[in-house]
Copies of this chain bind each other. A is one copy, B any other.
Amino acid sequence: MYKKLFIPGPTHVREEILQAQTAPMIGHRAKEYSNLQGEVRPKLQQLLYTQQPVLIFASSGTGVMEGSIRQAVRPGKRALVTVCGAFSKRWFEVSEGNGIPTDKIEVEWGLGFRPEQVVEALGQGDYDALTLTLNETSTGIQNPVAEIAAAVRAAYPEIVILVDAVSAMAGAKIEFDAWDIDCVLASSQKCFALPPGLAVAAVSERMLKRAGEVPGRGYYFDFLDNLKYWKKDQTPATPAISLIYALNKQLDDIMAEGLENRWARHLEMAGIVQAWGRKYWKLFAADEFLSPTVTTIANTRGISVSDLNKALAERGAMISNGYGDLKEKTFRIATMGDLTVADINWLLGEINDILGLA
Protein backbone atom coordinates (compact mmCIF):
# COMPACT_ATOMS: atom_id res chain seq x y z
CA MET A 1 0.00 0.00 0.00
CA TYR A 2 1.33 3.43 -0.91
CA LYS A 3 2.02 5.63 2.07
CA LYS A 4 1.55 9.32 1.40
CA LEU A 5 4.61 10.99 2.83
CA PHE A 6 4.07 13.66 5.48
CA ILE A 7 7.73 13.41 6.46
CA PRO A 8 10.10 16.34 5.98
CA GLY A 9 11.59 14.87 2.86
CA PRO A 10 11.45 13.01 0.66
CA THR A 11 7.94 14.34 0.40
CA HIS A 12 4.99 13.08 -1.64
CA VAL A 13 5.66 13.25 -5.40
CA ARG A 14 2.64 13.48 -7.70
CA GLU A 15 2.15 10.88 -10.43
CA GLU A 16 2.53 13.50 -13.22
CA ILE A 17 5.91 14.48 -11.80
CA LEU A 18 7.05 10.87 -11.54
CA GLN A 19 6.02 10.42 -15.17
CA ALA A 20 7.89 13.55 -16.28
CA GLN A 21 11.10 11.66 -15.51
CA THR A 22 10.43 9.23 -18.34
CA ALA A 23 11.05 11.54 -21.30
CA PRO A 24 13.59 9.96 -23.68
CA MET A 25 17.27 10.44 -22.92
CA ILE A 26 19.10 13.27 -24.69
CA GLY A 27 22.75 14.28 -24.98
CA HIS A 28 23.81 16.82 -22.35
CA ARG A 29 25.86 18.75 -24.92
CA ALA A 30 23.04 18.72 -27.48
CA LYS A 31 20.71 21.62 -28.21
CA GLU A 32 17.78 19.62 -26.79
CA TYR A 33 19.38 19.72 -23.37
CA SER A 34 20.29 23.41 -23.47
CA ASN A 35 16.71 24.14 -24.46
CA LEU A 36 15.51 22.22 -21.41
CA GLN A 37 17.87 23.95 -18.98
CA GLY A 38 17.06 27.24 -20.70
CA GLU A 39 13.40 26.70 -19.80
CA VAL A 40 14.28 25.93 -16.19
CA ARG A 41 16.66 28.89 -15.76
CA PRO A 42 14.26 31.87 -15.61
CA LYS A 43 11.71 29.95 -13.59
CA LEU A 44 14.26 29.18 -10.86
CA GLN A 45 15.23 32.86 -10.82
CA GLN A 46 11.57 33.85 -10.54
CA LEU A 47 11.08 31.38 -7.68
CA LEU A 48 13.90 33.07 -5.75
CA TYR A 49 13.12 36.66 -6.80
CA THR A 50 16.59 37.03 -8.25
CA GLN A 51 18.49 38.15 -11.32
CA GLN A 52 21.50 36.14 -10.19
CA PRO A 53 22.44 32.69 -11.48
CA VAL A 54 20.71 29.71 -9.89
CA LEU A 55 23.09 26.81 -10.48
CA ILE A 56 21.94 23.20 -10.73
CA PHE A 57 23.85 20.18 -9.41
CA ALA A 58 23.45 16.42 -9.54
CA SER A 59 23.79 16.06 -5.77
CA SER A 60 21.91 16.18 -2.54
CA GLY A 61 21.80 19.52 -0.73
CA THR A 62 24.61 18.42 1.58
CA GLY A 63 27.03 18.33 -1.35
CA VAL A 64 26.35 21.96 -2.18
CA MET A 65 26.61 22.96 1.48
CA GLU A 66 30.12 21.53 1.36
CA GLY A 67 30.90 23.13 -1.98
CA SER A 68 29.68 26.55 -0.85
CA ILE A 69 31.60 26.75 2.42
CA ARG A 70 34.81 25.59 0.77
CA GLN A 71 34.53 28.56 -1.59
CA ALA A 72 33.54 31.12 1.02
CA VAL A 73 36.52 31.09 3.38
CA ARG A 74 39.97 32.32 2.37
CA PRO A 75 43.11 30.84 3.93
CA GLY A 76 43.66 32.25 7.42
CA LYS A 77 40.01 33.25 7.84
CA ARG A 78 37.21 31.54 9.76
CA ALA A 79 33.59 30.46 9.38
CA LEU A 80 30.82 31.12 11.91
CA VAL A 81 28.01 28.57 12.10
CA THR A 82 24.66 29.20 13.78
CA VAL A 83 23.35 26.00 15.39
CA CYS A 84 19.72 25.60 16.41
CA GLY A 85 19.20 21.89 15.77
CA ALA A 86 20.61 18.79 14.11
CA PHE A 87 20.57 20.09 10.54
CA SER A 88 22.08 23.50 11.21
CA LYS A 89 24.78 21.59 13.11
CA ARG A 90 25.60 19.87 9.83
CA TRP A 91 27.11 23.15 8.61
CA PHE A 92 29.62 22.81 11.44
CA GLU A 93 30.48 19.20 10.63
CA VAL A 94 30.81 19.99 6.93
CA SER A 95 33.03 23.00 7.54
CA GLU A 96 35.31 21.21 10.01
CA GLY A 97 35.35 18.14 7.77
CA ASN A 98 36.97 20.33 5.14
CA GLY A 99 39.63 21.64 7.47
CA ILE A 100 38.10 25.12 7.70
CA PRO A 101 38.63 26.89 11.05
CA THR A 102 35.06 27.07 12.32
CA ASP A 103 33.26 28.47 15.35
CA LYS A 104 29.64 28.03 16.32
CA ILE A 105 27.02 29.79 18.34
CA GLU A 106 24.01 27.90 19.62
CA VAL A 107 20.53 28.59 20.85
CA GLU A 108 18.30 26.25 22.78
CA TRP A 109 16.54 23.82 20.49
CA GLY A 110 13.11 25.10 19.61
CA LEU A 111 14.37 28.66 19.26
CA GLY A 112 15.76 30.58 16.31
CA PHE A 113 18.39 33.30 16.18
CA ARG A 114 17.90 37.01 16.68
CA PRO A 115 19.86 39.42 14.48
CA GLU A 116 21.77 41.02 17.36
CA GLN A 117 23.04 37.63 18.62
CA VAL A 118 24.56 36.90 15.26
CA VAL A 119 26.08 40.35 14.77
CA GLU A 120 27.63 40.20 18.21
CA ALA A 121 29.17 36.78 17.58
CA LEU A 122 30.66 37.96 14.31
CA GLY A 123 32.61 40.55 16.26
CA GLN A 124 34.53 37.82 18.09
CA GLY A 125 36.62 36.48 15.19
CA ASP A 126 38.05 37.10 11.75
CA TYR A 127 35.15 35.67 9.79
CA ASP A 128 34.83 35.27 6.03
CA ALA A 129 31.56 33.37 6.09
CA LEU A 130 28.40 33.01 8.14
CA THR A 131 26.05 30.06 7.79
CA LEU A 132 22.34 30.27 8.48
CA THR A 133 19.61 27.68 8.31
CA LEU A 134 16.34 29.08 7.06
CA ASN A 135 14.29 26.17 8.29
CA GLU A 136 15.62 23.77 10.93
CA THR A 137 13.99 20.46 10.07
CA SER A 138 14.64 18.78 13.42
CA THR A 139 12.96 21.37 15.66
CA GLY A 140 10.51 22.91 13.20
CA ILE A 141 11.73 26.46 13.51
CA GLN A 142 12.29 29.10 10.88
CA ASN A 143 15.04 31.66 11.40
CA PRO A 144 14.34 35.30 10.48
CA VAL A 145 16.99 35.19 7.75
CA ALA A 146 15.97 38.47 6.10
CA GLU A 147 16.34 40.37 9.38
CA ILE A 148 19.55 38.61 10.37
CA ALA A 149 21.07 39.24 6.94
CA ALA A 150 20.13 42.93 7.04
CA ALA A 151 21.77 43.42 10.43
CA VAL A 152 24.86 41.43 9.45
CA ARG A 153 25.23 43.22 6.15
CA ALA A 154 25.08 46.62 7.86
CA ALA A 155 27.87 45.66 10.25
CA TYR A 156 29.99 43.42 7.99
CA PRO A 157 29.54 44.37 4.32
CA GLU A 158 32.02 41.80 3.01
CA ILE A 159 30.97 38.70 4.86
CA VAL A 160 29.59 35.88 2.73
CA ILE A 161 26.22 34.67 4.02
CA LEU A 162 25.39 31.05 3.17
CA VAL A 163 21.82 29.90 3.73
CA ASP A 164 20.63 26.30 3.90
CA ALA A 165 17.06 26.49 2.62
CA VAL A 166 16.78 22.75 2.00
CA SER A 167 13.43 22.30 3.71
CA ALA A 168 11.97 25.69 2.80
CA MET A 169 12.78 26.63 -0.81
CA ALA A 170 9.70 26.42 -3.07
CA GLY A 171 7.52 26.34 0.04
CA ALA A 172 8.39 29.71 1.56
CA LYS A 173 9.22 33.08 0.08
CA ILE A 174 12.96 33.63 -0.33
CA GLU A 175 13.88 36.99 -1.83
CA PHE A 176 17.48 36.32 -2.71
CA ASP A 177 18.34 39.74 -4.13
CA ALA A 178 16.37 41.82 -1.62
CA TRP A 179 17.77 39.89 1.33
CA ASP A 180 21.31 40.48 -0.01
CA ILE A 181 22.52 37.00 0.91
CA ASP A 182 25.24 35.20 -1.03
CA CYS A 183 24.28 31.59 -1.48
CA VAL A 184 20.96 29.92 -0.83
CA LEU A 185 20.77 26.21 -1.52
CA ALA A 186 18.16 23.48 -1.49
CA SER A 187 17.53 19.99 -2.73
CA SER A 188 14.71 18.62 -4.81
CA GLN A 189 12.92 16.25 -2.43
CA LYS A 190 11.46 18.77 0.01
CA CYS A 191 9.16 21.64 -0.99
CA PHE A 192 9.96 21.19 -4.68
CA ALA A 193 8.13 17.86 -4.29
CA LEU A 194 10.48 16.14 -6.72
CA PRO A 195 12.42 12.92 -6.29
CA PRO A 196 15.78 13.45 -4.55
CA GLY A 197 19.01 13.83 -6.52
CA LEU A 198 19.05 17.47 -7.57
CA ALA A 199 20.31 20.52 -5.72
CA VAL A 200 20.12 24.19 -6.69
CA ALA A 201 22.05 27.19 -5.42
CA ALA A 202 21.59 30.88 -6.13
CA VAL A 203 24.93 32.70 -5.97
CA SER A 204 25.62 36.42 -5.54
CA GLU A 205 28.36 38.52 -7.13
CA ARG A 206 29.99 38.63 -3.71
CA MET A 207 29.98 34.81 -3.53
CA LEU A 208 31.51 34.51 -6.99
CA LYS A 209 34.20 37.06 -6.22
CA ARG A 210 35.06 35.26 -3.00
CA ALA A 211 35.26 31.91 -4.77
CA GLY A 212 37.89 33.40 -7.05
CA GLU A 213 39.99 34.24 -3.99
CA VAL A 214 40.01 30.73 -2.55
CA PRO A 215 42.74 28.43 -3.87
CA GLY A 216 41.98 24.69 -3.84
CA ARG A 217 38.26 25.46 -3.60
CA GLY A 218 37.27 22.14 -5.14
CA TYR A 219 36.09 21.03 -8.54
CA TYR A 220 32.63 19.47 -8.82
CA PHE A 221 30.86 22.28 -6.99
CA ASP A 222 33.21 25.06 -8.17
CA PHE A 223 30.78 27.94 -8.67
CA LEU A 224 32.98 29.73 -11.22
CA ASP A 225 33.29 26.67 -13.42
CA ASN A 226 29.59 25.95 -13.05
CA LEU A 227 28.78 29.57 -13.93
CA LYS A 228 30.71 29.26 -17.19
CA TYR A 229 28.49 26.37 -18.26
CA TRP A 230 25.33 27.90 -16.79
CA LYS A 231 25.72 30.74 -19.28
CA LYS A 232 25.22 28.23 -22.09
CA ASP A 233 22.44 26.40 -20.22
CA GLN A 234 24.66 23.45 -19.44
CA THR A 235 26.51 21.99 -16.46
CA PRO A 236 30.22 21.02 -16.34
CA ALA A 237 29.50 17.39 -15.42
CA THR A 238 26.61 15.37 -16.81
CA PRO A 239 23.37 16.65 -15.24
CA ALA A 240 20.62 14.41 -13.82
CA ILE A 241 18.54 14.80 -16.97
CA SER A 242 15.44 12.85 -15.95
CA LEU A 243 15.20 14.86 -12.73
CA ILE A 244 15.59 18.09 -14.67
CA TYR A 245 12.66 17.08 -16.88
CA ALA A 246 10.68 16.66 -13.66
CA LEU A 247 11.94 20.00 -12.31
CA ASN A 248 10.86 21.78 -15.49
CA LYS A 249 7.35 20.34 -15.26
CA GLN A 250 7.13 21.11 -11.56
CA LEU A 251 8.25 24.73 -12.04
CA ASP A 252 5.50 25.15 -14.64
CA ASP A 253 2.99 23.82 -12.13
CA ILE A 254 4.37 26.09 -9.40
CA MET A 255 4.03 29.14 -11.64
CA ALA A 256 0.51 28.05 -12.61
CA GLU A 257 -0.42 27.87 -8.93
CA GLY A 258 1.13 31.30 -8.40
CA LEU A 259 4.02 31.94 -6.01
CA GLU A 260 2.00 33.91 -3.47
CA ASN A 261 -0.67 31.21 -3.51
CA ARG A 262 1.98 28.58 -2.92
CA TRP A 263 3.45 30.39 0.09
CA ALA A 264 -0.06 30.97 1.45
CA ARG A 265 -0.97 27.29 1.05
CA HIS A 266 2.10 26.23 2.99
CA LEU A 267 1.27 28.68 5.77
CA GLU A 268 -2.33 27.50 5.85
CA MET A 269 -1.34 23.82 6.07
CA ALA A 270 1.19 24.55 8.82
CA GLY A 271 -1.40 26.65 10.66
CA ILE A 272 -3.80 23.71 10.71
CA VAL A 273 -1.13 21.40 12.13
CA GLN A 274 -0.08 24.03 14.67
CA ALA A 275 -3.68 24.51 15.87
CA TRP A 276 -4.11 20.76 16.19
CA GLY A 277 -0.75 20.51 17.95
CA ARG A 278 -1.75 23.17 20.46
CA LYS A 279 -5.12 21.56 21.07
CA TYR A 280 -3.90 18.04 21.80
CA TRP A 281 -0.19 18.41 22.52
CA LYS A 282 2.37 21.16 22.76
CA LEU A 283 4.39 22.73 19.99
CA PHE A 284 8.12 22.12 20.37
CA ALA A 285 9.14 25.37 18.66
CA ALA A 286 8.64 28.82 20.15
CA ASP A 287 5.68 30.66 18.63
CA GLU A 288 7.71 33.43 17.02
CA PHE A 289 9.88 30.96 15.09
CA LEU A 290 7.29 28.46 13.83
CA SER A 291 8.11 26.92 10.47
CA PRO A 292 5.64 26.92 7.55
CA THR A 293 6.91 23.59 6.22
CA VAL A 294 7.39 21.29 9.19
CA THR A 295 5.83 21.25 12.63
CA THR A 296 7.54 19.49 15.52
CA ILE A 297 5.10 18.40 18.20
CA ALA A 298 6.10 17.58 21.76
CA ASN A 299 4.80 14.12 22.67
CA THR A 300 3.05 15.33 25.83
CA ARG A 301 0.69 12.35 25.77
CA GLY A 302 3.55 9.88 25.95
CA ILE A 303 2.28 7.82 23.02
CA SER A 304 4.51 5.48 21.04
CA VAL A 305 5.28 7.49 17.91
CA SER A 306 6.59 4.35 16.29
CA ASP A 307 3.26 2.57 16.89
CA LEU A 308 1.35 5.56 15.61
CA ASN A 309 3.32 5.42 12.39
CA LYS A 310 2.60 1.70 12.06
CA ALA A 311 -1.10 2.36 12.41
CA LEU A 312 -0.88 5.23 9.92
CA ALA A 313 0.93 2.94 7.46
CA GLU A 314 -2.14 0.73 7.36
CA ARG A 315 -4.16 3.77 6.41
CA GLY A 316 -1.68 4.96 3.76
CA ALA A 317 0.29 7.71 5.48
CA MET A 318 3.65 8.27 7.11
CA ILE A 319 4.83 10.97 9.52
CA SER A 320 8.28 11.40 11.11
CA ASN A 321 9.50 10.49 14.51
CA GLY A 322 11.62 13.10 16.31
CA TYR A 323 15.16 13.49 15.05
CA GLY A 324 18.11 12.10 17.01
CA ASP A 325 17.71 12.75 20.72
CA LEU A 326 14.18 14.01 20.13
CA LYS A 327 13.00 10.58 18.95
CA GLU A 328 9.76 9.54 20.68
CA LYS A 329 9.92 12.81 22.65
CA THR A 330 8.58 14.63 19.61
CA PHE A 331 7.11 13.82 16.23
CA ARG A 332 7.03 15.81 13.04
CA ILE A 333 4.43 16.53 10.39
CA ALA A 334 5.67 18.16 7.20
CA THR A 335 3.45 20.45 5.17
CA MET A 336 5.58 20.54 2.07
CA GLY A 337 5.41 20.71 -1.65
CA ASP A 338 2.24 19.49 -3.28
CA LEU A 339 0.40 18.37 -0.17
CA THR A 340 -2.98 20.05 0.18
CA VAL A 341 -5.15 21.34 3.00
CA ALA A 342 -7.40 18.35 2.34
CA ASP A 343 -4.42 15.99 2.74
CA ILE A 344 -3.54 17.57 6.08
CA ASN A 345 -7.09 17.45 7.37
CA TRP A 346 -7.34 13.82 6.33
CA LEU A 347 -4.06 12.95 8.08
CA LEU A 348 -5.03 14.65 11.34
CA GLY A 349 -8.42 12.95 11.22
CA GLU A 350 -6.71 9.57 10.91
CA ILE A 351 -4.38 10.34 13.84
CA ASN A 352 -7.34 11.47 15.95
CA ASP A 353 -9.12 8.27 15.08
CA ILE A 354 -6.13 6.06 15.90
CA LEU A 355 -5.40 7.78 19.21
CA GLY A 356 -9.03 8.38 20.16
CA LEU A 357 -8.61 12.16 20.29
CA ALA A 358 -11.99 13.80 20.23
Tell me the A residues contacting B by CB distance below 8 Å. 2-3, 5, 7, 9-13, 15, 18-19, 21-28, 30, 58-63, 66, 93-94, 97-100, 187, 189, 195-198, 215-220, 222, 236-243, 318, 320
Q: Which residue of B lies closest to A309 (CB)?
A: B30
Inter-chain contact B237/A93, CB cutoff 8 Å: no
Bound Cα distance from A240 to B12, whole angstroms = 14
Known: A58-B63, A98-B218, A195-B243. 5 other contacts (CB 8 A): A62-B220, A97-B219, A187-B238, A195-B240, A196-B241
Inter-chain contact A25/B195, CB cutoff 8 Å: yes
Inter-chain contact B220/A9, CB cutoff 8 Å: no
Residues of B with C-beta under 8 A to A216: 97-100
Name the prevailing secondary structure of the A interface residues: loop
Inter-chain contact B10/A28, CB cutoff 8 Å: yes
Inter-chain contact B21/A189, CB cutoff 8 Å: no
Bound Cα distance from A28 to B243, whole angstroms = 17
Bound Cα distance from A198 to B238, whole angstroms = 10
Smallest CB separation, A166 vs chain B (Å): 9
Inter-chain contact A22/B19, CB cutoff 8 Å: yes
- Among candidates B66, B196, B239, residue contacting A238 with C-beta atoms closer than 8 Å: B196
The answer to whether residues A18 and B10 also contact, given A59-B220, A197-B58, A216-B97 and a CB cut-off of 8 A, is no
Inter-chain contact A196/B318, CB cutoff 8 Å: no
Q: Which residue of B lies closest to A15 (CB)?
A: B22
Smallest CB separation, A88 vs chain B (Å): 15
Residues of B with C-beta under 8 A to A27: 5, 7, 10, 318, 320
Residues of B with C-beta under 8 A to A222: 97
